[in-house]
Amino acid sequence: MKAIERLYEYLDYKKLKPTALEKEIGLSNGYISVQKKRNADMGEGALNKIIDYCRDINPLWLLTGEGNMLRADKGEKKKEGDIPVARPASSPMEGIPLIPVSAMAGVFAGEQTVLEYECERFVIPTFKGAEFLISVKGSSMYPKYNSGDIVACKRLPMSDIFFQWNKVYVLDTDQGPLIKRIKPGSDKEHVLIVSDNERYEPFELPLDRIHHVALVIGVIRLE
């Protein structure tokens, strides 16, 4: 059974029409039904949109058929007390900014307009060294992080970068930001970019294509 068939199973369970889902997530009219008729594979972009919108669907089940259709409540995956809670800041300069992906380059460049004025801010006592928060998109880091999870990050200097192998980092690259594990590459000029989701193949990235780096300190829950 392919992902498109499992999607139809989910839609039947939720009593949703494919056309309604297409409209909500920005897919072309008839895309889902055409893929079903062809028994074709859905593209990564379409799958990510579905996972982002259908927050209760289990990404692993949708992609591979393993596990249950609906994801377990996050309280079952981790004890509620294990996840640091972030409360909204009470003043403009308090707390840590939640950065939109579109503003990542500005954050890494140290643009104060992004860090100080344009973002929601949250106070997280647990993460003293965190400099910004960012929302995880897509399913490449599942099950470590779900799409929509918020991670706390600390910027690292590129002039003297030292990677802790197998740690999760946010990388500012030519193709945009990546949230991935870093492992040794084939030589000193490359690193291996690894996803936790086995459906995503590891790949090497030249160090000179990485413009900025931040270490992911942990995941938080918004109050």
Do residue 54 and residue 138 come from a single domain? no
Q: What is the pLDDT of residues 147-176, one digit of tens each?
A: 888 899 999 988 878 899 999 999 999 888
Number of domains in the chain: 2
Query: Phi then psi for 171, rounded to 5 degrees?
Result: -115, 130
**Of 27, 52, 71, at which residue does a domain stop?**
71
Tokens read off for 172 = 């500012």
Give the model's pLDDT for residue 119. 74
Q: For residue 141, give the CATH number of its domain.
A: 2.10.109.10
- Which residues constitute the domain of residue 90? 80-222
Do residue 60 and residue 111 come from a single domain? no
Out of 46-55, 76-85, 123-132, 138-147, least confident range: 76-85
Out of 5-19, 66-80, 88-102, 129-143, least confident range: 66-80
Do residue 55 and residue 87 come from a single domain? no
Give the model's pLDDT for residue 65. 87
